[in-house]
DNA sequence: CCTCGCTGTGTGACCAAGTCACCAAAAGAT
DNA sequence: ATCTTTTGGTGACTTGGTCACACAGCGAGG
């Protein structure tokens, strides 16, 4: 961690020198192995996490035992949920799971509150993180309510594809990502395969016809 | 506005005297007639609104022209969305419409930011409002994905009923409240009527068998 | 009073998607 | 090599959303 992790967060670059120092000394870089639950209902989070590396999957466990994927926190973003727990003492039903090995900055409650009082820039950073998440949730709701599954799946495949156009995920995983049943994923993928857009193997989807998927994924917006 | 509107907000009761005075003098009570759009995409909101009286319906206009109901802001709550717009300069796609005549306290940006810096209590109040909304959205998503329409409609009817067990809303309105089509509402209501739980008239639903609706509405949670 | 037109409601046909109950194939485990 | 677990495939069925259209209540104007 040469120099400062702060450079990874554009929103914090404008912090005055003294605040920046206080933030650095009052926080700690932590590593978390893949699969760990970073936060969960019942745990009062005492740290605000800013992700340096890796991804955290935020999902909600339903009463019925099933799960909805809510959003994904990437490097350079923060787990606002944790913030909310920290400041509001409210119980969230959301769970955060490290999808990969994760490096993050942990800002303890005291430091957080102190900085939130002192620095407008810091406050703005936090509020922006909040609004970002809220907007994400809005578009998620919009998608769930109005978007066809095939369109959503196409879009998600494109998002999840690595640089070799490969998605490593089982049908079941894709199902919970989109809040639908595995069977629906299986059928839709079969259809994609029939159209020559993808090839399938156990746990793997290879995109062979990117343009087709892209056209489908865009079709929703185009209708406007 | 005798005494102070601040008493309407429990979260603000612990404000120190000087901050409280500054909040009162630096803000303004405004009235808005029913039907006004309190905020909408594109309008940069310069005021944080705290509702004293009336309700504001927050919904999202989709690309496709349709609408999803997101949540309702009641007296004693705040339009956090506006806050987010204020602080994050992000464009929300959400719209807030006054459902009734509304009285609200408008806190201008400058006052807001000043107070957020000075007072921990005020900050906590704001963050709590945020988390409240986020949790609401979570349960909304959960409902949309996992809950049956009849259960959701039963619950909503009970919520919307006035003290004479009457809901004044057309099927179309109930449809957008629940993010579904009018036809689905019509069919479900027919079924409720058949079971003797409600009576219908143009634009009105009268609840005649509360217990039945309640049992249905609770059935979801009971399954756990 | 009648008619026009608007808004709200009812309905049937159809399609998309979620559920259930299985089965079969692939990968791991012993 | 066999057993077990995980993953994917399929058909039948239900729920919910879409479309097209019919019709009823009600106010405005002639």
Question: Measured in angstroms, what separates residue B63's CA from nucleotide D22's C1'?
Answer: 30
DSSP string, A92-129: P-EEEEESS-EEEEEEEHHHHHHHHHH-HHHHHHHHHH
Chain B residues with CB under 8 Å of A118 CB are 117
Cβ B69 vs Cβ B57: under 8 Å: yes
Q: How far apart are CA B69 and CA A145, in angstroms?
A: 11
Question: Measured in angstroms, what separates residue B175's CA from nucleotide C20's C1'?
Answer: 29
Supply B12's token pair: 């603000």
Q: Which of B78, B127, B137 to substitute to test the interface with A, most A CBs within 10 Å?
A: B127
**B67 at the A interface (CB within 8 A)?**
no
Q: How far apart are CA A138 and CA B201, in angstroms?
A: 34
DSSP label at residue B6:
G
How far off is chain A from B163, nearest CA to CA, in Å?
Answer: 31
**B142 at the A interface (CB within 8 A)?**
yes
Alpha-carbon distance values, B73 to B55, B98, B99, B189 (Å): 6, 9, 10, 26
Alpha-carbon distance values, B206 to A140, A184, B72, B161 (Å): 34, 39, 22, 8
**pLDDT at position A224, please?**
39
Span A58-80, average pLDDT: 85
Res A83 pLDDT > 90: no
**pLDDT at position A130, please?**
84
Q: Do A134 and B84 touch (CB under 8 A)?
A: yes
**Of B118, B123, B142, which is closest to A68 when you measure between CB atoms?**
B142
**pLDDT at position B134, please?**
87
How far off is chain A from B159, nearest CA to CA, in Å?
Answer: 21
Span A151-162, average pLDDT: 96
**pLDDT at position B47, please?**
87
């Amino acid at each position: 961690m040469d120099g400062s992790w702060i450079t990874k967060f554009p929103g914090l670059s404008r912090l005055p020198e003294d605040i920046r120092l206080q933030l650095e000394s009052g926080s700690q870089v932590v590593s978390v192995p893949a699969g760990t639950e970073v936060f969960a209902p019942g745990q009062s989070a005492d740290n605000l996490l800013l992700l340096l590396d890796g991804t955290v999957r935020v999902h909600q466990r339903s009463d019925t035992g099933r799960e909805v994927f809510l959003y994904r926190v990437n490097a350079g973003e923060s787990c606002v949920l944790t913030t909310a727990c920290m400041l509001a003492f409210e119980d969230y039903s959301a769970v955060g799971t490290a999808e990969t090995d994760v490096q993050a900055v942990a800002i303890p409650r005291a430091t957080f509150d102190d900085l939130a009082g002192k620095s407008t820039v810091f406050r703005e950073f936090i509020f922006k993180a909040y609004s970002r998440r809220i907007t994400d949730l809005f578009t998620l709701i919009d998608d769930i309510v109005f978007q066809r599954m095939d369109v959503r799946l196409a879009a998600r495949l494109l998002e999840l594809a690595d640089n070799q156009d490969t998605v490593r995920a089982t049908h079941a995983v894709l199902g919970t990502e989109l809040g639908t049943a595995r069977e629906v994923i299986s059928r839709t993928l079969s259809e994609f395969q029939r159209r020559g857009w993808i090839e399938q193997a156990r746990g793997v989807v290879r995109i062979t016809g990117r343009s087709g998927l892209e056209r489908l994924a865009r079709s929703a917006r185009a209708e406007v």
